[in-house]
Amino acid sequence: MFLRLLYESFRRQKRRKLLAGVAIMLGVGVATAMIAVATDIGDKISRELRTYGANLIVTPQEDTLDVEIGGVNLKPPSDDAYLNESDLAKIKGMFWGNNIVGFAPMLPVRVSLGDENNVTLLGTYFARHVVLGKQDFVTGVRTTHPWWKVQGAWPDDSSEDVLIGDHLAAKLNRTVGQEIEITGHPHRVAGILSTGGPEDSQVVAPLSLAQQIVGKPGAVRRIYVSALTKPEDAFARRDPKSMSPEMYDRWYCSPYAQSIAFQLQEAIPHSHAEQIRQVAQNEGTVLSRIQGLMLLITLAALLASALAVSASMATAVVERRGEVGLMKALGAGNLAVAVLFFAEAALLALLAGVAGFVGGALLARQIGHSIFDSQITIQPVLLPVILTIAVIVTFAGSAAAIRRAVKFDPVYALRGDV
């Protein structure tokens, strides 16, 4: 009898049930999409933000020495402290090597340009092909400093062509294709560089040319690294020296900027690595705000669904007051009436929840392709979570109407005086 009553309620109130089901489906669909995107957004946001430049910097360990005695700074001069270019390949061989998007070594040297003395020439990689086993990895400032704009062409890393900053080019009256004399040797200007930084007054050349000028083959002064990282939390900022072995393993195996910097120090001898704070902190801020916005959208959608279900159930209960009165007149208690209505709500929630999950998964995939140009992964464990949310929302919207139905007096209900 119970199943028949359940079936008849759906058959006789198709329109009411359909409207409530659509409301649940839309709310659950939005919730599914937002939860799926939020749980998979970390790597997507991190990859998008990597287009704004490096987030880690590696320098010689000597640069971090700070010796002060009696108020006198006795820090030794570190102008001659260098890293070894041959160690750069180790960056991709460390534990989180696959998270390294690119790196760019830098070697600034002082040169003379004709009548101009004491001009900085910055040696670096532009788009250098680095062979790591069977992997051909392309890296350089075109990856780590994507805001650099060049009028003309980028030099080849194996050439002796150079870029000249736009401020320096205007001062020297040089254009693309002309030559400039660097320490007595002519070099072709492949392009005019604009960065909005100190490079606008510098010459930027292949790293090998800077090493040749300074007379130190393989020397590197600093390395900018662009890595996919996980936003910092309280655990990420803890000192690894104070951690237990289990906590240290967890910290080491998490792609925090600090843990990747620690691994960079392990990979490159006599180095010090740290995160570029402004970049790392902005990543965390952007991610938390986006996730907060998604949570707000999810709650708003679920609230709207609960209100729609409440309105639909309230109308349905009024229409069925005669049925409720008859059930009570035949001996049904308040619990039996409540169980019937809650069973209807649960069945409706499960059916609409499955449809909403499918629709939300499609919406999440569309968001991934249109915004992040990649696929959002829908975890199977999300289905029971979504169905639970659908049941909770439906029960919340139905509770007031069911409570009213339970309190119906059978005499008045059968007379239609409710």
pLDDT digits (tens, 9 = 90+) for 77-94: 455 689 999 999 889 888
Per-residue model confidence (pLDDT) at position 37: 82
CA-based angle 106:44:256, to the nearest 5?
60
Instruction: Identify the band that residue 17 occupies on the pLDDT scale cut at 50, 70 and 90.
Output: confident
Is 90 exceeded by the pLDDT of residue 20?
A: no
Specify whether the CB–CB gap between 112 and 183 falls below 8 A.
yes
- Ranges 118-122, 127-131, 412-416, most confident: 118-122
Count Cα neighbours of 149 within 13 Å in the Cβ-side half-sphere: 6
* Residue with the two structure tokens 């970390």: 42
Cα 381 versus chain centre, distance: 21
Q: Helix 321-329 to helix 277-319 angle, to the nearest 10 degrees? A: 70
Q: How many residues does the chain have?
A: 418
| Rounded Cα–Cα distance for residues 352 and 346 (Å) | 10
Is 90 exceeded by the pLDDT of residue 157?
A: yes
Per-residue model confidence (pLDDT) at position 382: 87
Instruction: Give the chain's mean pLDDT.
Output: 82
CA-based angle 201:150:157, to the nearest 5?
90
Per-residue model confidence (pLDDT) at position 74: 46
What integer is the mean pLDDT of 352-365? 90
User: 48 or 99: which carries more pLDDT confidence?
Assistant: 99
What integer is the mean pLDDT of 237-265? 89
- Domain segments of the chain: what residues? 2-48+283-415, 56-275
User: 51 or 174: which carries more pLDDT confidence?
Assistant: 174
| Rounded Cα–Cα distance for residues 327 and 118 (Å) | 98
Per-residue model confidence (pLDDT) at position 73: 45
Task: Please give the structure tokens belonging to residue 304.
Answer: 């709207």
Q: What are phi and psi of 144, to 5 degrees?
A: -85, -20
User: 3-state SS of the chain: helix, strand, coil percent to 5?
Assistant: 55, 20, 25
Specify whether the CB–CB gap between 405 and 341 falls below 8 A.
yes
Residues 298-339 have pLDDT tens digits of 999 999 988 888 888 887 777 666 666 666 666 666 777 777
Specify whether the CB–CB gap between 202 and 122 falls below 8 A.
yes
What integer is the mean pLDDT of 43-54? 63
| Rounded Cα–Cα distance for residues 54 and 108 (Å) | 18
User: How much of the chain, in percent, has pLDDT values that exceed 70?
Assistant: 79
Render the burial of 368-407: b for 16+ CB within 10 Å, e for the rest.
beeebeeebebeeebbeebbebbbebbbbbbbebbebbbe
Residues 53-65 have pLDDT tens digits of 788 999 998 876 5
| Rounded Cα–Cα distance for residues 107 and 223 (Å) | 9
Instruction: Identify the band that residue 400 occupies on the pLDDT scale cut at 50, 70 and 90.
Output: confident
Q: Which of 123-127, 281-285, 369-373 has the lowest mean pLDDT?
A: 281-285
Residues 318-327 have pLDDT tens digits of 766 666 666 6
| Rounded Cα–Cα distance for residues 248 and 242 (Å) | 9
Q: How many CB atoms lie within 10 A of CB 182?
A: 21
| C-alpha pair distances (Å), 288 with each of 41, 292, 363 | 11, 6, 22
| Rounded Cα–Cα distance for residues 45 and 54 (Å) | 15
What integer is the mean pLDDT of 37-54? 66
What integer is the mean pLDDT of 383-408? 84
Is 90 exceeded by the pLDDT of residue 162?
A: yes
Q: Which amino acid is at 232?
A: E
* Residue with the two structure tokens 């629709």: 359
Nearby residues of 368 by Cβ (< 8 Å), 6 or more positions away: 37, 40, 44, 374, 375, 376
User: 401 or 252: which carries more pLDDT confidence?
Assistant: 252
Measured distance between the N- and C-terminal CA atoms of the chain, rounded to whole angstroms: 26
Q: Which of 131-145, 325-339, 352-366 has the lowest mean pLDDT?
A: 325-339
Per-residue model confidence (pLDDT) at position 133: 64
Is 50 exceeded by the pLDDT of residue 70?
A: no
| Rounded Cα–Cα distance for residues 43 and 91 (Å) | 20
Per-residue model confidence (pLDDT) at position 55: 85
User: 342 or 46: which carries more pLDDT confidence?
Assistant: 342
